Structure formats: C-alpha cells, structure tokens
Amino acid sequence: MEGMNQYYSEELSQKTRRGQRETRLKGLHSAGKLNYGYYTKNKKVYIHEEEGPIVKEIFERYAAGERGNEIAISFAERGILYRGKPFSAANIYVILHAEKYTGKYVLHGEVYDNIYPRIIEPELFERCKQRIDANRYGNHVPDYSYLLRKRVYCGQCGTRMTSYSGTSKSGRVSKYYKCWNAIGKKNCTAKFIQKDLLDNIVLQALQNTLTGTNLALVVDEIYKQHNAKLLGENPVKLLEKELAQINKAINNILKAIEQGIITDTTKERLQELETTRRELQEKLIFERMQEQVVLDKKTIADYLKEAVKQEPEMMIDLLVDKVYVHEDRIELILNYTGTPPKPKRRIDDKPENPEGESLRGSLIFTTEASIDVYSHKGNNKKGLEPRFKGVCKKSVLIEI
C-alpha cells in the first residue's frame, strides 16, 4: 500500500512540475511567492509602481559603495516598508541576490526571459554581484575616501545624501554628495555639493569650534546634556524590553519550525529578527558601558583636544554625528565621547528656517568656513593647473 501511495505521489509531482513548466514557457507566473517589486494579474507579472523604483535604487546605491545596513536605515527614515515592515539589511541582500530583476529566471537548468519584466540592467546586477563576492572572500573593492559617508543629510527633505562620482571627457573624476530624493522620485529640489568642498568646510568648522575660547562653550554644553541624559529616560531598560520582545518572536518561529511549518517567509522573518537581535545586543552593551561613564569637564575637554589633532578620517569619526546640507548653510551636529546625540527630527517640509535657528540639536554657536574654489573647465591637457575661481563662504551651525 505504501509503495502504491509513493508511486501515485511521484506521478502527481511529475505532472505538477510539467504543468508549471508549460506555464513558465508561456511567460506566466507558475507558483510561489513573488519577489518584492513585482505583482501579478491573471498570472502575468508586472512591475510594481512604487516598489520597482525602490529595487532599482537599492542596486544603484549598493553599486555606488553603500552597505546594506546603511540603505535599510535610510529607508526606515523615509518610511519605506518591505512587505509592511521596516527594511532590514537581510531584506536588502535578498533583493541584491535575485537575478530575476534583470528579466532572467533560471530554474532546473532552463532559462526563462519572458516572465519577469526587467527592473535593472544586467550590467548593474553584475557590478553588485562582484562587490558581494569580493566582500564575502575578504577582497574588498576600492572605495573613494568620502570622509562624511553615512553622515550627510539633505537639509531640505531630511533624506540621507549618498556619494556619487563621474568622469569627464578629460578623465578627471568628480566626486560629490547627492540627495536620493532629488535623484529618484524628483520630489526634492536640493542641489548636489562637491565632496571636497563639503569635507573641507566641515574640517575647518571643527578646527574653528574646538580651539581657543570656543572650546569652553562646547565643553559646557556637552557636560550639561550628559547630565540631563542621566536624569532622563533610561535607554538600557527600553533596549532590554525590546530585546525580550524579539527573543519571544524568535522562539515562536522556532516552535513553528519544529512543528514542520517552514516557508520562505518563515526563514526570511527569522533572518530579520536575528539581525535585529544582534543590533540590539550591541546597543545594549554600549548603553550599559555608558551608564558607568562619569564625565567631568576636564575629561570632555581632553577628549575634544585630542580628537581635533587626529588625521581627517579619524577626526570625523570621533567628532561628527550628522551633517545637514542647506543651500545657504551647513548644520553640523557633534558627536562626543563615542555617544551619538539624538537631535530633534524635522517634521515639516519647509526648505529653510527663516530665523536660521537650529532645527535638530541644541545650538552652541555659528562659525564660518571659507574654502578656495578652483575650476577645471577646459583643462584637457595633462599638467595644466586648475584656475582659481573664488572663495566659497558657508555659515556653519554647530550643534550638540
């Protein structure tokens, strides 16, 4: 009896597979869960109007050098969801591995190119694949030195700005920061800013801020805010509560798996939760250490004095939390003693604050950075020096 059941079961499986293959040959979706960015109508696959551009953005940003976690964080800030929940780094990498987005689908050794509409070019997928493979085996791809990478935000819409580069006909590489909302959905009119210009403005502002009489103002504000934090809401208890909820959710999924309930969605959700748990555990360790830190003004001053002496990359890591780029000014929010401040988020969509007051942190004072600007236009010959164009002056709001 068992042999007959097995025979009919195998025969049914073969018929099912044949039917699904015939469906695929017709260019129709046969079975299974669709990838993010697509939807079906009468078994025909179409590009989702809202999700499709997000998929393309993920590939473009990863190819430009951003990490999966950085992209996920920026989506959370913009309110972009993955199947009704915030994006995680795991979601980003699932998308980056899916060749279907090029219009090519390989199954059981057969290639189907008429089922999934193309969202990205095959060349873009290959660039991302090469970077994933390089990172996997430890051979990291070369990266431009964007000092403020992960820290630059658009002052107009609040979206994180990303690093971009372009090559002119003469072979000169130009590097700059761009707002993603200004590139993708065109719902932001913010202009890009040259990388070297912004980097130098921030470095000069730090030198102005953390030397001489200005240093005492910064030390006083940090000391005041640190004490206020100790008296305020306890982040350790909040993180412990959140971690307990994540552990409970993971245990529920593990129980379901033990009962034989295993689907792609189950595995995907488990990956998301485990990633979140690791992040929370790291934050919890950090916050517990912070509870034991006793800050006095001399300790703060010594830290800042030492930080400002470092090489630019180290100085940025030690001192800068966020940089908001406006058309007429730069907002620089300081980091201190390794503790990222939590500035107020801007909730309106007004491009500028007419009074020029701080919109996010506690304003300490305003300084000015003056940077020489040179023009490379027309300099196609090797060895031709760039021409001095003028001085760019930017007002910089220093905040904690």
Q: Which of 20-24, 49-53, 82-86, 220-224 has the highest mean pLDDT?
A: 49-53
Question: Quick one: average pLDDT of 148-175?
Answer: 79
217 part of a folded domain: no
91 lies in the same domain as 45: yes
Helix (H) or strand (E) holding 367: strand 363-375
DSSP 49-96: TTHHHHHHHHHHHHHTT--HHHHHHHHHHHT-EETTEE--HHHHHHHH
- pLDDT(95) > 70: yes
- pLDDT(364) > 80: no
Look at residue 315 in the predicted model and tell me its pLDDT: 81
Q: Which of 16-30, 131-145, 193-207 has the highest mean pLDDT?
A: 193-207
30 lies in the same domain as 123: yes
325 lies in the same domain as 239: no
End-of-domain residue from the set 136, 161, 190: 136
116 lies in the same domain as 83: yes
313 lies in the same domain as 291: no
219 part of a folded domain: no
88 lies in the same domain as 191: no
277 lies in the same domain as 157: no
Look at residue 293 in the predicted model and tell me its pLDDT: 60
- Beta bridge partners, 86, equal 81
218 part of a folded domain: no
Domain that holds residue 286: 225-297
The phi and psi torsions of 103 (rounded to 5 degrees) equal 95, 0
Give me the number of domains the chain comprises. 3
Percent of the chain residues past pLDDT 90, beyond the cut: 13
End-of-domain residue from the set 245, 275, 297: 297
Q: Is 194 exposed, middle or buried (0-12, 13-18, 19+ CB in 10 A)?
A: middle
183 lies in the same domain as 313: yes
121 lies in the same domain as 41: yes
Do residues 130 and 111 lie in contact, with contact meaning Cβ atoms separated by under 8 Å? no
206 lies in the same domain as 325: yes
What DSSP state is assigned to residue 149? T
Q: What is the CATH number of the domain that holds 114?
A: 3.90.1750.20
Look at residue 387 in the predicted model and tell me its pLDDT: 54
Look at residue 363 in the predicted model and tell me its pLDDT: 60
113 part of a folded domain: yes
9 part of a folded domain: no
287 lies in the same domain as 251: yes
- pLDDT(149) > 90: no
19 part of a folded domain: no
Round to whole Å and give the CA distance between 310 and 313.
Answer: 8
238 lies in the same domain as 164: no
End-of-domain residue from the set 136, 166, 200: 136
- pLDDT(156) > 60: yes
1 part of a folded domain: no
147 part of a folded domain: no
Q: Would you say the C-alpha torsion 304, 305, 308, 311 has a positive or negative sign?
A: negative
Give the tokens for residue 200: 């130098």
Name which of 98, 85, 33 is nearest 59 in CA terms: 98
User: pLDDT tens-digit profile of 313-327?
Assistant: 878 887 888 899 998
Give the tokens for residue 220: 């006083």
Q: Is 400 exposed, middle or buried (0-12, 13-18, 19+ CB in 10 A)?
A: buried
Mean pLDDT, the chain, whole residue set: 75
